[in-house]
Amino acid sequence: MSPTPPGKGIGSGTGPDSGPGSATASASADKRRSGAPLILALGLAAMVVAMAQTQVIPILGLLQQELGTTPAGVGWVTTATLLSAAVFTPLLGRFGDQHGKKPTLIGVLIVMIAGSVLAAVTSSLPLLILGRVLQGAATAIFPLALSIIREELPVEKLPGAMSLISGTLAFGSGLSLVATGLLTRGDDPNYHLVFWFSALLSAVALLAVILRVPASRTKAGGRIDLLGAATLGLFLVLLLLGISQGHEWGWASGRTIGAFVGAVLMAGVWVQVERRVTDPLVDLRMFVHRPVLLTNLAGLFVGFAAFSQFIGISYLVQMPERPAGYGFTASVLRASVEYLLPGALISLLAAPLGGLLVGRIGARVTLAIGSVVGIVGFGWLAFGHGASASVILAGMLTGIAISFGYAAMPALIVANVPHHQTGIANGINSISRSVGSSIASAVITSLLASESVPGLPAGVPPIPAESRFTLSFVIAGVMLLLVVGVALPGLKRVSARAEPVAVPVPQDRQSVDA
């Protein structure tokens, strides 16, 4: 007997408040409520997520010097956040579905503030890593925000609202790089200011959420599947640990192989746990439902492309032009402002267009169109990166692709899961993008270290051969080509009649292409 698809579209009416009376009241409330303040508050909260993920990347060298640690030690400042996100994002997404999204979102932002303040006041590497672990929990903000949007906004506003919130992720990543560059410029840089800025922005987001986000109107209830959360978290930690530390440990080392073998074993344990518990953390029928499974696969490819854009352009433009024979000898600040910020800005501007396309031609086609634009951009980066203008314009094309991908994937997820599983489903999609980013980091780092420019003067550190950048951008373009394959032949058209809280949908209502 084949499994029943887990949902019939956006707002399938599975919450306890579903019913004719509550639906009418909810529809009236939606008409009275302006969506703009809600979208602004949730977009600001989502931007906090993106900034936390990238804010330390430009200052890893500074942190290593200030804290007196090794490259491997300072690497845990980024790895800890990734592992924390892997554990807490699905757990908190499910908790929000069950017990209320607004209180969960407020709690996550408070933890984010606490982690930022701890990182800002400490000069100890272990305490800084602990602060980054707390910051990593903020990754759950994004799926929680999408769940709230689905619950609170009428159908016609959903694609645009989800796209705008998704667009803040790419914009926040670019803004974080610029802010970090500005806050640490000068002869005596102070890394503590970066985390104080993060704490301040998180506090503003918390205030906006408290004032503008209404209380949750639907709660699935039920118990938290702690065993399922623990086994899923351990699987993701082992997987991401192997991916993120493989270059440092060695891909054939016992620790790396052990992490991957442990991940496979824990994946099997998690599946068995979820099949046996009464109220599982993840409904496996939802997890393997074709549109959801393929959307998560697309998320992995898009995550790879997104990180390839950032790290590839950032490293390329900072290459010293004279000994390397390519590059632009850009500083960290110049690389962020001149080369990366335009792509981040165009991502934010492209988000409403992505939402419009999702509503007009469907999420599946929007995802494919964005990927084709990105393929052109990465092709340009691979074979035409000799001029600054080319790098900037190509980066803008790839930025549009990432924005369209972020706009389409939440729509595909929401269209194919029941209302009470929106948070956990989008949380897993967020994790798929994180896994893709981690793989990109490992692949590109290994590629750049695999071949150096020959004949460098004595005392000059090794410089990656230009061909390594070309190959990196080609691989990123291939990832987006795979997204096209997933979106067009893979994903089938599924009618998703988007109405919050089970409001009856007229038959002629335009569907979302899933």
The string of pLDDT tens digits covering residues 163-191 is: 888 888 878 887 888 888 889 887 888 99
Kindly write down the DSSP assignment for every residue of 91-121, as one continuous string. Answer: HHHHHHHHH-HHHHHHHHHHHHHHHHHHHHH
What is the per-residue pLDDT for 205? Answer: 96
pLDDT at 223 over 50: yes
What is the per-residue pLDDT for 208? Answer: 95
pLDDT at 241 over 60: yes
What is the per-residue pLDDT for 492? Answer: 64
pLDDT at 10 over 50: no
Q: Which residues pair with 464 in a beta bridge?
A: 452
pLDDT band, very low/low/confident/very high, at 220 (cuts 50, 70, 90): low
Kindly write down the DSSP assignment for every residue of 439-454, as one continuous string. Answer: HHHHHHHHHHHH-B-T
Instruction: Name the average pLDDT for the chain.
Output: 83
Which has more confidence, 216 or 389?
389
What is the per-residue pLDDT for 376? Answer: 98
**Which residues neighbour 409 within 8 Å (Cβ) at sequence distance 6 or greater?**
166, 295, 298, 299, 302, 363, 367, 429
pLDDT at 356 over 50: yes
* Candidates 1.20.1250.20, 1.10.3720.10, 3.40.50.1110, 3.40.50.300; CATH matching 30-214+281-453+462-502: 1.20.1250.20
Report how far residue 416's alpha carbon sits from residue 395's, in angstroms, rounded to the nearest whole number.
32
Lowest mean pLDDT among 32-41, 170-179, 202-211, 334-343: 32-41
Distance between the two ends of the chain, CA-based, in angstroms? 24
Which has more confidence, 376 or 503?
376
**Which residues neighbour 76 within 8 Å (Cβ) at sequence distance 6 or greater?**
125, 129
pLDDT band, very low/low/confident/very high, at 11 (cuts 50, 70, 90): very low
The amino acid present at 513, given as its one-letter code, is D
Percent of the chain with pLDDT over 90: 39
> Closest by alpha carbon to 463, among 331, 251, 318?
318
Report angle CA 401, 369, 417 to the nearest 5 degrees: 85
> Closest by alpha carbon to 376, among 484, 245, 219?
484
Report how far residue 434's alpha carbon sits from residue 427's, in angstroms, rounded to the nearest whole number.
11
Residue 59 DSSP one-character state: G
Placement of tokens 């699987």 in the chain = 235
- For 35-61, what is the mean pLDDT? 88
pLDDT at 448 over 90: no
pLDDT at 232 over 80: yes
pLDDT at 500 over 60: no
- 456-495 pLDDT tens trace: 887 778 889 999 999 999 999 999 999 999 998 888 654 3
Does an H or E element contain 85, and which?
Answer: helix 71-99
Which has more confidence, 395 or 512?
395
Write a three-state SS string for 204-232.
HHHHHHHHHCCCCCCCCCCCCCHHHHHHH
Lowest mean pLDDT among 221-225, 439-443, 454-458: 221-225
Lowest mean pLDDT among 110-119, 202-211, 217-226, 385-394: 217-226
pLDDT at 72 over 90: no
Domain locations along the chain: 30-214+281-453+462-502, 225-280
- For 306-325, what is the mean pLDDT? 89
Report angle CA 491, 376, 453 to the nearest 5 degrees: 120
pLDDT at 44 over 60: yes
What is the per-residue pLDDT for 248? Answer: 80
Which has more confidence, 419 or 350?
350
What is the per-residue pLDDT for 71? Answer: 73
- 143-166 pLDDT tens trace: 999 889 988 888 888 888 888 888
- 254-284 pLDDT tens trace: 999 999 999 999 999 999 998 888 878 777 8
The amino acid present at 363, given as its one-letter code, is A
- For 311-338, what is the mean pLDDT? 88
- For 339-351, what is the mean pLDDT? 89
> Closest by alpha carbon to 181, among 158, 167, 197, 202?
197
Residue 260's Cβ-side half-sphere holds a number of Cα atoms within 13 Å equal to 13
Q: Dig out the tokens for 452 from the structure.
A: 């150096």
pLDDT at 222 over 80: no
pLDDT at 16 over 80: no
Percent of the chain with pLDDT over 70: 88
The alpha carbon of 428 is separated from its chain's Cα centroid by a whole number of angstroms, namely 10
The alpha carbon of 145 is separated from its chain's Cα centroid by a whole number of angstroms, namely 13
What is the per-residue pLDDT for 507? Answer: 36
Report how far residue 483's alpha carbon sits from residue 489's, in angstroms, rounded to the nearest whole number.
10
> CA dist 392 to 196, 210, 290, 388, Å?
30, 38, 37, 6
